[in-house]
Structure 1
Amino acid sequence: MSYQNILSTTNSRITTITINRPNKLNALNKDTIQELHDAFDEANSSKDTKVIIITGSGEKAFVAGADISEFADFDVKQGGKLAAKGQELLFDFVENLSTPVIAAVNGFALGGGLELAMACHFRIASSNAKMGLPEVSLGVIPGYGGTQRLPQLVGKGRAMEMVMTAGMIDANQALNYGLVNHVVEQEELLALCEKIASKIMRNSSVAIKAAIKSINANFKDGVDGYKTEIKQFGKCFGTDDFTEGTTAFLEKRKADFPGK
C-alpha cells in the first residue's frame, strides 16, 4: 500500500511506521490519521510483523500536534465528531492492537502527538524529546484520549498540572513520571526500540496478545480486569504456543513458538 504522509517498512519482522510531514513537524491531519490507521491495520494483519514501531521523520518532532487549520472553524457537533472518529480510527485502535506497538518519541510530542504515543503499548524517548498537552491554551481540551490516558500513566495530580498549565516536560521528567520507559540519545533511539522488539519476538505472540487484552481491561469502565485475565489465561492452555513453551521448558531447550 502506498502512502502520501507516512512511510512503512518491514525488516526482520519489525514494521516501522514513520510519520513523514517534516515541514509540518509531522502534525496529524485527517489524511495522516487515516493513513496511520491503514498502516497499523496492515501491519497487525501481516504474518511478517511481530512488533510495530511508530516514530516521526526528522530530528525535531515525533508529532508536534494536530493540524489546527483543519478544525479551527468547527462547531460543537463537528468538534464532537472529530474526537469520536479520531479515537475510534486511530488512538483506541492502536491501544487495542494485538501486535505490540512501541512509540519511538524523537523530539516534540505535543497534543495529538503525545496522545498517539500514549495509545501505544509503551514509549521510548530521545533525550531531546519534549512532551505536553497544550490544548487549553487554544480554548479546548485534549480530545484524542489525553485526559484519560495521561492520568493512568502519570497519576491524577501530575496529569492535572500538565493539562492545566499547557506546559511541556522534558524526556528525563517524563522518565521520572513513568510516561516513558527509557531515554537515550536520538541516534540510539531506533536501535534500542529494535533491541527491545527482538526480545519481545522471542516469546509467544499468542500469549502477548492475551496479555495486552488483559492489561487493557483494567482501564476500561465496567470491565473486571481480573475476570478478563482468568479468561485469557485459560485460553492459553488450548494453544500450540502453550504446548511448545511448556514442552521446551521441560526439555530444557529454546522454544520455537508457532504463533497459534
Structure 2
Amino acid sequence: MNTVLFDVVEDYIGLITLNRPKAANAFSTELLQDLNDCMDLIEARDDLRVLIIKGSGEKAFCAGADLKERASMSKNEVVQTVKTIKETVNRVEALPMPVIAAINGAAFGGGLELALACDIRMASTEASLGLTETSLGIIPGAGGTQRLPRLIGPGRAKYLIYSARRVSSQEAYQLGMIEVLVERGKLVEQVLSEASIIAGNGPIGVRQAKEAIQSGLNTNIETGLDIEEACYKRTIPTNDRLEGIQAFKEKRKPNFSGN
C-alpha cells in the first residue's frame, strides 16, 4: 500500500493524501520517502493551481513522527530523520502554488508543523492540534518554533509549545492557528470549494501574490514593498492580465490560461 496518494481531483487542483490511517498517518521513513517522491512529481508540473494535503481516515491529519519506529533508531538516525521531516516540510512551504491543509483530525508535532507550512489551514470541528514535543523531552524540529510564533504571536506560541498543550479546532480557530472551521463531514467538500475559487483566479497573479507575501514576511516593510512591486511587474506582460481586463469589460468570467 502506498503511504502517500496523489490525484488531480478537479481541473488544476492536486490532492495529496497521507495514507497510514492505522498509524494516525504518522511520518514513517517510508511515508517521508513517498511524500518526497510525490513532491518531485508536483514540482515538475506547471499546471497545478492549488494543492490540498489531507490525512486518510477520520481520526488523524498527521500525528507527527512515528514514535514506534523512532524507538529503535540510533541518535544519528533520529537526527537524520528529523532533518528529513524539516526538509520535506520546507519543500511544501516553497511550492509556488497555494497549499491548503485539510485537517480532518489530530495534527500533533510534525503533523502540525506540516500544516503550518501550508498557506491556508482548514479544519474539521472534530480536529485537535498541538506542538507536543516538550512532553517527550524534545522540541519542535520541523519549523514549529519559527512558524507558529509568526502566525499567532510569540506569547501564545510559547505558551502552547512550553506546555505541549493540545487544543480543539475551535480554540485553534480563535487563536488564529487555522483560518476556516468546518462542520464534521463537510471538510473535503468545503476545501474543494475554496480551492476551486482560488484555481479560478489568474494563476500567475496568485503565484506572484504568494511570492510577495512569503518573501515580504522575511524582511522589513520597505524591502517588502519593493518585492511586491517586482512581483506585480511580472503580471504586466501576461495574457492573463489582458484576459482579466477584457472579461471585466464584457461582464463575463475570465478564462485564464496561465500565460
Question: Equivalents in 2 of 1:55, 1:215: separation in Å?
Answer: 24
Question: Equivalents in 2 of 1:11, 1:62: separation in Å?
Answer: 19
Question: Equivalents in 2 of 1:47, 1:234: separation in Å?
Answer: 20
Deviation per CA, 1:98-134: give whole Å up to 9, x if none: 1221111011000000001111111100111110011
Shift of 1:86: 2.7
The letter for the 2-side match of 1:34 is Q
Please, which moves more after superposition, 133-142 or 27-36?
27-36
Please, which moves more after superposition, 216-225 or 47-56?
216-225
**Gapped runs of 5+ residues in structure 1?**
none
Question: Equivalents in 1 of 2:36, 2:66: separation in Å?
Answer: 17
Partner of 1:116: 114
The letter for the 1-side match of 2:149 is P
Question: Equivalents in 2 of 1:228, 1:93: separation in Å?
Answer: 21
Question: Equivalents in 2 of 1:232, 1:238: separation in Å?
Answer: 12
The letter for the 1-side match of 2:227 is T
Question: Equivalents in 1 of 2:93, 2:126: separation in Å?
Answer: 25
The letter for the 1-side match of 2:5 is L
Report how many aligned residue pairs link the two structures.
256
Partner of 1:215: 213
Shift of 1:161: 0.5
* Residue 65, structure 1, aligned to residue 57, structure 2: no
CA contact (8 A) 1:96 1:213 kept: no
Question: Equivalents in 1 of 2:226, 2:78: separation in Å?
Answer: 36
In angstroms, what is the RMSD of aligned CA positions? 2.0
Shift of 1:221: 5.8
Shift of 1:44: 4.5
Give me the TM-score of the superposition, normalised by structure 1: 0.91
Please, which moves more after superposition, 210-219 or 243-252?
243-252
Partner of 2:16: 17
Question: Equivalents in 1 of 2:120, 2:104: separation in Å?
Answer: 14
CA contact (8 A) 1:217 1:225 kept: yes
Partner of 1:42: 41
* Residue 131, structure 1, aligned to residue 129, structure 2: yes
Partner of 1:91: 89
Question: Equivalents in 1 of 2:241, 2:44: separation in Å?
Answer: 22
From 144, 151, 154, give the equivalent of 2:152: 154
CA contact (8 A) 2:29 2:81 kept: no
Deviation per CA, 1:168-193: give whole Å up to 9, x if none: 01011111111111112231000000
**Percentage of matched positions with identical amino acids:** 40
From 196, 199, 206, give the equivalent of 1:198: 196
* Runs of 4+ residues over 6 Å off in structure 1: none
Shift of 1:15: 1.9
Question: Equivalents in 2 of 1:163, 1:203: separation in Å?
Answer: 37
Question: Equivalents in 1 of 2:200, 2:171: separation in Å?
Answer: 31
Partner of 1:250: 249
Partner of 1:6: 4
CA contact (8 A) 1:44 1:99 kept: no
Equivalent positions of 1:228-239 (< 5 A) are 228-239=227-238
Please, which moves more after superposition, 165-174 or 211-220?
211-220
**Gapped runs of 5+ residues in structure 2?**
none
Question: Equivalents in 2 of 1:83, 1:212: separation in Å?
Answer: 27
The letter for the 2-side match of 1:196 is E
Give me the TM-score of the superposition, normalised by structure 2: 0.91
Shift of 1:49: 3.0
Question: Equivalents in 2 of 1:58, 1:80: separation in Å?
Answer: 29
Shift of 1:24: 0.8
